[in-house]
Amino acid sequence: MRKSEYPWDFDGDLHKESAKHKQLLDAIDTLKEQIPLLREKIRNAKAELLRTVKRFERLKTDLISTLRSKEWRLDSESKLFVRVNDQKTYLQNELLICQNNIMRLQRNGSYWKNIPRKNDERVMDPKRGPVKKIFCVERLPPIAT
């Protein structure tokens, strides 16, 4: 019933298109089979992405906390540094005043030696420091036997 030779039987373009159509249908079938696997992979990827986002949020919170802690520490240490630096400047000034007084006393040492003093007044010796006063050297208490 079929005539052996139709005019389109020997059409090369038609055969190419038909082969291409079969390839595309096979590819569609293959992709339809892969759709459930791809959907599962997408679900897994979404879950993994949510876990990663939560992990990064926790890390962000930790880093913010650490940063605030470091800022607080740096602020308190800078305040302490300012206080210590002020105290250092004050003590350096006091030391300079003391050194100037000592130098002046050393230059004017002969003046201080000629001034009469009371017996209980302490004397400043520039080389040895203040002279110590010794109490009760005249009499010692009796020894109980």
Structural contact between residues 130 and 112, judged by C-beta atoms closer than 8 angstroms? no
Please report whether residue 145 resides in a domain. Answer: no
Please report whether residue 3 resides in a domain. Answer: no
Please report whether residue 94 resides in a domain. Answer: no
Please report whether residue 115 resides in a domain. Answer: no
pLDDT digits (tens, 9 = 90+) for 103-114: 888 787 665 566
Please report whether residue 138 resides in a domain. Answer: no
pLDDT digits (tens, 9 = 90+) for 48-104: 999 999 999 999 999 999 999 999 999 999 999 999 999 999 999 999 999 998 888
For the whole prediction, is pTM greater than 0.85?
no
Please report whether residue 105 resides in a domain. Answer: no
Is the C-alpha dihedral spanning 100, 103, 108, 114 positive or negative? positive
Please report whether residue 26 resides in a domain. Answer: yes
- Domain holding 25, by residue range, is 12-86
Number of domains within the chain:
1
Q: Say how far apart CA 114 and CA 121 lie, in whole Å.
A: 14
Q: Say how far apart CA 40 and CA 37 lie, in whole Å.
A: 5
Please report whether residue 66 resides in a domain. Answer: yes
Q: Say how far apart CA 91 and CA 97 lie, in whole Å.
A: 10
